[in-house]
Amino acid sequence: MKKKPRKVKHEFLYFAWRNWKLRLGLLVVFFFVLLAIVGPHLTPYEPWAYVGPSARPPCKEFWFGTTMFGQDVFTQFVHGLYPVFLVGVLGGGLATVIGTLIGFTAGYRGGWVDEILNTFTNVVLVIPTLALLLILAAYLGVRSFFIQAVFIGCTAWPWTARAVRAQTLSLKAREFVDLAKISGMRPAKIVLTEIAPNMLSYLVMVFILQFGGAILNAATLDFIGLGPTRGISLGLMMQIALLWGALPLGMWWWFVPPGLAIALLVGALYITNVGLDEVFNPKLREM
């Protein structure tokens, strides 16, 4: 039986599709993205409007039931999804950018620059970010999702900086960087055209983790009352639910969906990251 070797055009795509973790993760994430976009058009109500009887369990009329004040939980839920993505992308993105810049400069320049940046990273790494976020959040009376995303972005970057620094150090030692230097390329150009493309796959994975982390941080902040002062977010929903005794009254439909959504979304992001890691790094593939 002469087995014809399969013509494998792009090894990466071949593996990416076979990897069930990647498929599952992306599927769940897209589901929530879709829900965030389509959701608000599905319900006639406004998140804060009093539209029905109070504390009604989920029924045909109100898919996720109503709150203590008769607001439709499903409407609040779908409207609350959008800021979760906003803070996730902005906060996660900002943290990735800052982490990459600091890690990259430390790794590429080396010497005392590396020393200083590294110490700074270790310091911010150890500081309990909640203290920082509290002061900044409390200091600004009026808080928007954007501000919250910036806060989270500015405090979540240290571990990314360390990872990117290690990656840069290993790439910098590669000989094609030397070859570029003796081809007369300026350092900035070397960084952009030679080193950065190699790190792209790595940065995508780092961003996904930061995205998940940012969502969790945002929900925590909203929950202890430091979230945005206007608008609705899943964290805020849970805070209000707890504040108004949804727990003792057993109004599970008020606090279960928001938390569950965050857990599923962030879990899916982590699993996507694992899938990508397996696709890029053959060692984990056989497992």
Partner 1 sequence: MIELEHVTKIYRLGTFGRRALRAVDDVSFRVAQGRVVSLIGESGSGKTTIGKMILRLIPLTSGRILFEGNDISALSGRALKDYYRKVQGVFQDPFSSYNPIFKADRIFRILKTEFFPTVGPQQWDKRIREVLSTVGLVPEEVLGKYPHQLSGGQLQRFLIARALLLDIQFLVADEIISMLDASTRIDVLNLLAELRNNRGLSILFITHDLSLAHYLSDEAIILYRGSIMESGDIEKVFQRPLHPYTQILLSSVPRLDQKWEETEIRLKVQEGKRTAGCPYYDRCYLAEKGKICADLKPQLVEAEEQHFVACHRFREIPKEVKHAAGQTRGTSLA
Partner 2 sequence: MNILEVRDLRVYYQTIKGEVKALDGATFSVAEGEIMGLAGESGCGKSTLGRSLVLLKPPMKYVDGKVFLEGEPLPIWDREKMNAFRFAKVSLIPQYAMNALNPTKKIKRIFADILASRGIRLKQVLSELNWRFELVELPLEVLKMYPIELSGGMKQRVVMVLSTLLNPSLLIADEVTSALDVSTQKAVAKMLVEFRDQRFVKALIVITHDISLLYQIADTILVMYAGKFAEKGGTEEIISDPKHPYTRLLISSLPKIGVRYMETKLRGIPGHPPSLLEPPGGCRFRERCPEAFEKCGEEPPFITLDSTGRQVACWLITGNHD
Partner 3 sequence: MTRYLVRKVTIYLLTFFLAVTIDWIIPRFMPGNPIQTMLSRAALRAEAVEVMRGYYLKAFGLDVPVWQQYLNFWKAVFHGDLGVSVYLFPKPVIKVIAEAIPYTLAILVPAIILSWIAGNKFGAFAARRKWLDSTLLPMGYFLTATPYMWLGIFLAWGFGVALGWFPIAGGYSFAMTPNLSWKFVLDLLWHWFLPFASLFLVMFGGWAIGMRNMIIYELEADYSQYLESLGAPRRLIRSYAFRNAILPQITGLALQMGTIAAGAVVTETVFSYPGIGSLIVQAIQNQDYFLIQGCFLFIIIGVLLANFIVDIVYLIVDPRTRRGMIGEI
Spatial distance between the Cα atoms of 224 and 233, rounded to a whole number of angstroms = 13
Site string for partner 1, 100-129 (x = CB under 8 A): ---------------x--------------
Spatial distance between the Cα atoms of 47 and 40, rounded to a whole number of angstroms = 9
Contact 139, 194 (CB under 8 A): no
Q: HEC string of 118-163? A: HHHHHHHHHCCHHHHHHHHHHHCCCCCHHHHHHHHHHHCCHHHHHH
38 interacts with partner 3 by CB under 8 A? no
286 interacts with partner 2 by CB under 8 A? yes
Among partner 2, partner 3, partner 1, none, residue 183 binds (CB under 5-8 Å by kind) = partner 1
- Residue by residue, DSSP assigns 228-267 as -SSS--HHHHHHHHHHTTTTTTT-HHHHHHHHHHHHHHHH
Site string for partner 1, 139-178 (x = CB under 8 A): -----------------------------------xxx-x
131 interacts with partner 3 by CB under 8 A? yes
Cβ distance to partner 2 smaller for residue 41 or 283:
283
Q: How far is the CB of 10 from partner 1 (least distance, A)?
A: 12
197 interacts with partner 1 by CB under 8 A? yes
Provide the residue type at 251 as one letter: M
Q: How far is the CB of 14 from partner 2 (least distance, A)?
A: 7
Spatial distance between the Cα atoms of 258 and 247, rounded to a whole number of angstroms = 14
128 interacts with partner 3 by CB under 8 A? yes
- What end-to-end distance do the CA atoms of the chain give, in Å? 28
Stretch that binds partner 2, among 4-12, 145-153, 194-202, 254-262 (CB under 8 A): 4-12
Cβ distance to partner 1 smaller for residue 126 or 173:
173
Report the alpha-carbon angle 171-157-271, nearest 5.
80
Q: How far is the CB of 113 from partner 1 (least distance, A)?
A: 14
Spatial distance between the Cα atoms of 28 and 155, rounded to a whole number of angstroms = 27
Footprint of partner 1 on 243-262 (CB under 8 A): none
Site string for partner 2, 8-47 (x = CB under 8 A): x--x--xx--------------------------------
Contact 238, 223 (CB under 8 A): yes
Determine which residue in the list 63, 69, 159, 244 makes contact with partner 3, applying CB under 8 A.
159
- Residue by residue, DSSP assigns 182-231 as TTT--HHHIIIIIIHHHHHHHHHHHHHHHHHHHHHHHHHHHHTT-S-SSS
Determine which residue in the list 34, 37, 42, 135 makes contact with partner 3, applying CB under 8 A.
135
Report the alpha-carbon angle 32-35-40, nearest 5.
145
Place of tokens 């039931």: 65
Name the residues that contact partner 1, by CB under 8 A: 115, 174-176, 178-185, 194, 197-198
Name the residues that contact partner 3, by CB under 8 A: 21, 24, 119, 122-123, 125-132, 134-135, 138-139, 141, 159, 212, 216-217, 219-220, 223-226, 235, 238, 241-242, 247-248, 250, 252, 255-256, 258-260, 262-267, 269-271, 274, 283-284, 287
